[in-house]
Amino acid sequence: MKVKEAMGLLTVQICIKMAIATMSIKISNRRRMAVIGMGYVGLPLGVTFAESGISVVGIDVNASKMARLNVGDSYIEDIESSRLIPLVEQGLLAGSTDFDLLPSVEAISICVPTPLSKTRDPDMSYVVSATEQIVPRLSKGQVIVLESTTYPGTTRDVILPALEKSGLKVGKDFYLAYSPERVDPGREDFTTKNTPKVLGGVTPACVEKAKTFYEKAIDTVVPVSSPETAEMVKLLENTFRAVNIGLVNEVLLMCEKLGVDAWEVIDAAATKPFGFMKFTPGPGLGGHCIPIDPHYLSWKLKTLNYTARFIELASEVNTSMPEHWVKKVQDELNEYSKALKGSKILVLGAAYKKDISDVRESPALDIMSLLLEKGSLVEYHDPHVPSFKEHGMEMESVNDLDKALGEADCVVVVTDHSFYDWDEISSRSKLLVDTRHVTWRV
């Protein structure tokens, strides 16, 4: 049972206010590990180590989140409050905004955001800021591991020079490594604990020290020869997905021109037991990895006077998909002599993938924004996203789905949540555009 259910919302709010008020009080018992950045990556990592008996302090500039952590109230869907409560009660996990806790720990993992700027360049400000907090507090023997997704060379060229300003030497006084996060929100079969962990150290001693520490909580650690190799591993994984999704999205566009069912083609091709891996078309890319990570690699290669052509082309195809589906809505309405402008459009799903609440880079938001620009009357429904404020839009999910389905001139399926009864939606919709191929009206 979640904390909010057990204690009541009011009690939780009081506890959080008390926790914020006492946030400056140092955690008295020695912690073995600090995780800087307690979001989608940092919290699961901290919980995994704490469940292995390693005492962890999570450090984040968001005092409200750290207060929630300290009363066992999870703010991440993948981590139930029922997992946090015993760890907090046993003193194995705590949250703080105090970087002065760093000198006493054995290992520090950096799990801060690495977004792209408006010009699609890497924004390393969070990594730099975290490193600057570590430098004056760096202690002999500490293991420092960067987990944030970044371009090859970041660990050695950005973090290492800063840490060595402390006067300590890498591989001798402290140990620096890179280990890419492999979090897949909403997934239950592969977690932080049982997903193999790639790890590359600046020196052989660095990778050995980091490997020894991570093996205390992670089932399989995969050492590689350098941090650059580990950084490239992460970018290859997500570039592989982005390029293949771009491929099947273009196959969809080609099949429409040819009058062929793209999903039938893909399903038939997937019967081949070798040499083919199934990817499916959709509304575009979403989330914090696939739409962003390949651009780190592309940016780095541009500095070396090389154009990553597959990445650029896949990005072009994938980012065009919301426009394709809006055009599809327009064409469907035209068949019934209705204009897109002024029509009521119901979008099903705001999250970037099924059964989660994450709207980062969600193509659903792009589709809604484009529809609004064209004068449509747009509503959305998502059981996991009650409201959002993104892309210059501020919207709330409709309360009455049945009523919204009956009133909509066209329903657009963007996120295939398990919540939805697709047969019911198919039969209730006047017009339906299905970007996920989950209804019988596609």
Residue 68, CB-side half-sphere exposure with 13 Å CA sphere: 19
Q: Which tokens in the block code for residue 18?
A: 């008390």
Over residues 13-22, the mean pLDDT reads 49
Give the residue from 178, 210, 225 where a domain finishes. 225
- Which residue out of 15, 206, 255, 289 is catalytically annotated? 289
- Which of residues 192, 225, 258 is at a domain's end? 225
- Only one residue has tokens 């657009």, namely 412
Domain count for the chain, please give it.
2
Instruction: Please compute, for residue 33, the number of CA atoms within 13 A of its CA located in the half-sphere on the CB side.
Output: 28
pLDDT mean across residues, the chain: 92
The two tokens of residue 313 are 């082309």
Per-residue pLDDT of 134-153, as tens digits, reads: 999 999 999 999 999 999 99
Contact 204, 170 (CB under 8 A): no
For residue 263, give the 3-state DSSP assignment.
helix
Sole residue written with tokens 């592309």:
298
Same domain membership, residue 232 and residue 214: no
Q: How far apart are CA 197 and CA 407, in angstroms?
A: 49
Domain containing residue 268: 228-442
Place of tokens 């969600």: 362
Same domain, 145 and 38: yes
210 and 295 assigned to the same domain: no
Residue 114 has pLDDT above 50, yes or no: yes
Nearest-angstrom CA–CA distance, 104 and 111: 19
How confident is the model over 270-320, as pLDDT tens digits?
999 999 999 999 999 998 788 888 999 999 999 999 999 999 999 999 999
Round to whole Å and give the CA distance between 368 and 380: 8
Same domain, 26 and 137: yes
Alpha-helix residue ranges (DSSP H) falling in 52-155: 63-70, 81-89, 125-134, 154
Closest CA to 415 of 343, 362, 379: 362
Which residues, other chains included, contact 434 with Cβ-Cβ below 8 Å and sequence gap of 6+?
413, 441, 442
- Residue 399 is predicted with a pLDDT of 96
Least confident of 113-122, 387-396, 399-408: 113-122
Secondary structure (3-state) at 208: helix
Q: Are residues 270 and 143 in the same domain?
A: no
Phi and psi at residue 274, to the nearest 5°:
-150, 155
Q: Are residues 173 and 292 in the same domain?
A: no
d(CA 231, CA 150): 7
Q: Give yes or no: residues 61 and 195 share one domain.
A: yes
Instruction: Name the percent of the chain lying above pLDDT 70.
Output: 93
> Looking at the predicted structure, is the pLDDT value of residue 426 above 70?
yes
Q: What distance in Å separates the CA atoms of residue 398 and residue 418, rounded to the nearest whole number? A: 18
442: pLDDT confidence band, cut at 50, 70 and 90? Answer: low
Question: Active site includes 410?
Answer: no
What dihedral do alpha carbons 136, 139, 144, 148 form, nearest 10°? -20
Taking residues 61-90, report their average pLDDT.
Answer: 96
Q: How many CA atoms lie within 13 A of 10 on its CB side?
A: 0
Res. 22: pLDDT tops 70: no
Whether 411 has a pLDDT exceeding 60, the answer reads: yes
373 burial via Cβ count (<10 Å: 0-12, 13-18, 19+): exposed
The CATH number covering residue 83 comes to 3.40.50.720
> If you count DSSP H runs as helices and E runs as strands, how many of each does the chain have, helices first?
16, 14
Give yes or no: residues 139 and 232 share one domain.
Answer: no
Q: Which of 225, 250, 271 is the last residue of a domain?
A: 225
List pLDDT tens digits, range 165-182.
Answer: 999 999 999 999 999 999
pLDDT the model gives residue 117: 80
Does pLDDT of 19 surpass 70? Answer: no
Let me know whether 267 and 146 are in one domain. Answer: no
Same domain? For 265 and 290 the reply is yes
Cα gap 57→95, rounded to integer Å: 6
Q: What confidence tens digit (pLDDT) does each residue in 230-272 have?
A: 999 999 999 999 999 999 999 999 999 999 999 999 999 999 9
Same domain, 205 and 310: no
